[in-house]
């Protein structure tokens, strides 16, 4: 019978799906219930008023979600405290029979979801988590022996073979019917730290996607490795919080590919390949959860890492004396984002030049990145440290000077984030210590900007020995 719904009320837990468009859980709930109650729980241990780029982005994503829902006749219902206690209480209070949400794959969240499921069960409420954050999850793409892949290239090939089955985007939601929030008890406006937050994050994310696929994606492959060019999509933060969906990004790229010439199509294929890296790391974490805590490859759990706090602080603060490393780390702290090429360089530097564990770097990135994502971050760090899924990558040691010269040839990226070096000529910008006294005069090298804290050539050999020893203990 048309119009007949299975449920009276469904609570939709909006974590990591902070949008109204192409939102699988929200859309399914609207189809299945007379009323839906979109909810988020603010963890009171996290100080939302802190003004880091990441906190600002999270606040604006939440405020934007509330606005989008209000413009459709609903609102975001905001709880405060521990979700495991608060959500069952709330679901019971509003008389919901079921909570819809989206699946996540890291062990910490999975453990919390188990506790939540038990709490909801005790309250007589079911928890239904749907696939939304990835196109293909966990066991959907398997090798011929029906095992999950451990290597990217064959995974990508299999992923692309399945791409015909990717569903289209969901129809837009025009209205959301929700119960009244008497006295505004659950209103976001009660939370002072959200008063000045931007409220258009979803619209901005979609605009950014549209602009990127219109132009930049057509030269993505050729320009994506040059950090001074702003040639990548910068959609990672929106994807990380679910402000836009991975399907929206995929379909926008495919749509543009239909109109593109051969060169454009090749560039778009490289972009899609990056989306598949994201999927790859999600399925790695889901199928091999030990990687969240330890090296993916067991032999590298025995690496003899240094705990030199002085070096670690220099790396965090962008004061290692290697300009491209320092520029990257300063970009991270100032903007909450770092270019992918530079992420690889700074991660290689921490692990292979300073011999500090990838886990220290992983944690620092998670604290500062607006796009902080456990799967991609862990995958990226283990790739750079050579402890992850590749075959023999520990030989891969980036030379920060030659990487700088190759990918930031004029030093524009370095000069932007390391203003102390703004007058250094291009031939010395990645190795200012090579300048003769005359060229260095007035630049402040060695005073305002540090001399290199280590010698790359020496530390490279130390790293090779360290890894060789660990690999031979296999
Ligand atoms: C040490 C290290 C840590 C990283 N930590 C994170 C993280 O916490 N969160 C995160 O989203 N990405 C992470 N990455 C991957 C990558 O650097 C970022 O996704 C990318 O720089 C984001 O910029 P963009 O949106 O302009 O990417 P684009 O180049 O425009 O790519 C489009 C999208 O594809 C995905 N993507 C691109 N490259 C990768 C990749 N190598 N691995 C996985 N997904 C990718 C992202 O979702 C990205 O938004 C990390 C990489 C390294 C080397």
For residue range 128-149, list pLDDT tens digits in order: 999 999 999 989 999 999 999 9
Q: Annotated catalytic, 433?
A: no
Confidence band (pLDDT; 50, 70, 90) for 322? very high
Q: How many CB atoms lie within 10 A of CB 445?
A: 21
| pLDDT at residue 417, as a whole number | 98
| pLDDT at residue 34, as a whole number | 97
- At residue 10's C-alpha, the angle toward residues 6 and 13, to 5°, is 145
**Residue 85 in contact with ligand 1 by CB distance below 6 A:** no
Which tens digit of pLDDT belongs to each residue from 108-132?
999 999 999 999 999 999 999 999 9
Which tens digit of pLDDT belongs to each residue from 147-191?
999 999 999 999 999 999 999 999 999 999 999 999 999 999 999
- What's the rounded Cα separation, in Å, for the pair 170 and 21? 8
More confident residue, 435 or 233: 233
| pLDDT at residue 47, as a whole number | 65
- What's the rounded Cα separation, in Å, for the pair 461 and 148? 35
| Alpha carbon nearest to ligand 1 atom 48, residue | 236
What is the percentage of the chain residues whose pLDDT exceeds 90?
89
Q: For residue 224, how far is the Cα from the chain centroid?
A: 17
- Show the DSSP H helices in 288-357 as ranges: 309-317, 323-335, 340-348
- What mean pLDDT is reported for the chain? 94
- Whether residue 325 contacts residue 341, with contact meaning beta carbons closer than 8 Å, is answered with no
When pLDDT is averaged across residues 31-60 and rounded to a whole number, the result is: 88
Ligand 1 mean position, distance from CA 340 (Å): 6
Of the residues 126, 274, 367, 420, which is catalytic?
A: 274
Decide: residue 23, CB within 10 A, 0-12 exposed, 13-18 middle, 19+ buried.
buried
Q: Annotated catalytic, 8?
A: no
CA 27 to each of CA 14, 16, 179, 238: distance values in angstroms, whole numbers, following the listed order: 12, 15, 17, 19
**Residue 343 in contact with ligand 1 by CB distance below 6 A:** yes
- Specify the CATH number of the domain 133-167+202-287: 1.25.40.80
Q: How many CB atoms lie within 10 A of CB 157?
A: 12
- Specify the CATH number of the domain 298-472: 1.10.579.10
Residue listed under structure tokens 């939440």: 62
Q: Annotated catalytic, 274?
A: yes
Which tens digit of pLDDT belongs to each residue from 393-428?
778 899 999 999 999 999 999 999 999 999 999 999
Q: Annotated catalytic, 358?
A: yes
When pLDDT is averaged across residues 451-455 and rounded to a whole number, the result is: 97
Of the residues 315, 381, 383, 394, which is catalytic?
A: 381
Mutate to test the pocket of ligand 1, among 105, 376, 396 (most ligand atoms within 8 A of CB): 376
Ligand 1 mean position, distance from CA 385 (Å): 16
Ligand 1 mean position, distance from CA 380 (Å): 8
Ligand 1 mean position, distance from CA 161 (Å): 23
Domain 1-132 CATH superfamily: HUPs (3.40.50.620)
Ligand 1 mean position, distance from CA 369 (Å): 11
pTM of the model: 0.96
Among 399, 382, 379, residue whose Cα is nearest residue 300? 382
Q: Annotated catalytic, 277?
A: yes
Which tens digit of pLDDT belongs to each residue from 11-24?
999 999 999 999 99
- What's the rounded Cα separation, in Å, for the pair 138 and 286? 6
| Alpha carbon nearest to ligand 1 atom 43, residue | 278
Among 276, 303, 315, 343, residue whose Cα is nearest residue 141? 276
Confidence band (pLDDT; 50, 70, 90) for 1? very low
- Closest atom of ligand 1 relative to the 361 alpha carbon: 1
How is the chain split into domains, by residue range? 1-132, 133-167+202-287, 298-472
* Tokens read off for 248: 């929206």
Q: Annotated catalytic, 340?
A: yes
Confidence band (pLDDT; 50, 70, 90) for 75? very high
**Residue 244 in contact with ligand 1 by CB distance below 6 A:** no
- What's the rounded Cα separation, in Å, for the pair 373 and 269? 23
Segment (H or E) for 37:
strand 33-42
Which tens digit of pLDDT belongs to each residue from 286-300?
999 999 999 999 889
Among 50, 51, 53, 58, residue whose Cα is nearest residue 335? 53
- Closest atom of ligand 1 relative to the 233 alpha carbon: 30
- Whether residue 134 contacts residue 282, with contact meaning beta carbons closer than 8 Å, is answered with yes
When pLDDT is averaged across residues 209-230 and rounded to a whole number, the result is: 98
- What's the rounded Cα separation, in Å, for the pair 447 and 420? 10
- Closest atom of ligand 1 relative to the 347 alpha carbon: 1
Ligand 1 mean position, distance from CA 433 (Å): 32
């Amino acid at each position: 019978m048309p119009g007949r719904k299975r449920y009276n009320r469904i609570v939709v837990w909006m974590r990591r799906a902070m949008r109204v468009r192409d939102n699988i859980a929200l859309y399914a709930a609207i189809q299945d219930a007379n009323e839906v109650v979109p909810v988020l729980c603010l963890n009171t241990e996290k100080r939302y008023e802190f003004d880091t780029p990441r906190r600002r982005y999270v606040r604006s994503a939440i405020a934007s979600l509330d606005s989008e829902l209000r413009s459709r006749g609903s609102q975001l219902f905001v709880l405060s405290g521990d979700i495991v206690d608060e959500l069952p209480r709330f679901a019971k209070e509003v008389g919901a029979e079921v909570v819809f949400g989206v699946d996540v794959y890291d062990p910490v969240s999975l453990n919390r979801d188990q506790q939540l499921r038990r709490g909801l069960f005790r309250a007589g409420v079911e928890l239904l988590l749907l696939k939304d954050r990835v196109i293909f999850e966990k066991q959907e793409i398997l090798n011929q022996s029906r095992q999950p892949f451990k290597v990217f290239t064959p995974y990508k090939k299999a992923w692309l073979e399945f791409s015909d089955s990717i569903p289209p985007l969901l129809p837009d939601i025009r209205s959301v019917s929700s119960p009244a929030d008497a006295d505004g008890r659950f209103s976001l406006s009660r939370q002072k730290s959200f008063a000045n937050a931007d409220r258009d994050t979803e619209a901005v994310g979609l605009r950014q996607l549209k602009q990127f696929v219109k132009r930049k994606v057509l030269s993505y492959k050729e320009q994506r490795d040059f950090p001074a060019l702003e040639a990548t999509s910068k959609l990672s933060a929106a994807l990380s919080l679910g402000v836009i969906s991975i399907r929206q990004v995929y379909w926008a790229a495919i749509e543009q590919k239909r109109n593109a010439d051969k060169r454009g199509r090749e560039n778009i294929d490289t972009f899609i390949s990056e989306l598949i890296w994201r999927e790859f790391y999600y399925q790695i974490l889901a199928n091999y959860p030990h990687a969240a805590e330890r090296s993916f490859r067991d032999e590298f759990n025995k690496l003899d890492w240094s705990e030199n706090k002085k070096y670690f602080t220099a790396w965090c603060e962008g004061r290692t004396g290697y300009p491209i490393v320092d520029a990257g780390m300063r970009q991270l702290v100032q903007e909450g984002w770092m270019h992918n090429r530079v992420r690889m360089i700074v991660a290689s530097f921490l692990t292979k030049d300073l011999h500090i564990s990838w886990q220290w770097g992983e944690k620092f990135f998670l604290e500062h990145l607006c796009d902080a994502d456990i799967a991609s971050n862990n995958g990226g760090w283990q790739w750079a440290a050579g402890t992850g899924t590749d075959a023999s990558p520990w030989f891969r040691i980036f030379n920060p000077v030659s990487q700088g010269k190759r990918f930031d040839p004029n030093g524009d990226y370095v000069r932007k984030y390391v203003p102390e070096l703004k007058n250094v000529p291009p031939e010395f910008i990645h190795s200012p210590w090579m300048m003769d006294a005359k060229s260095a005069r007035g630049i402040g090298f060695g005073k305002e900007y540090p001399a290199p804290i280590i010698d790359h050539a020496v530390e490279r050999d130390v790293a090779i020995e360290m890894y060789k020893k660990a690999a031979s203990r296999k």
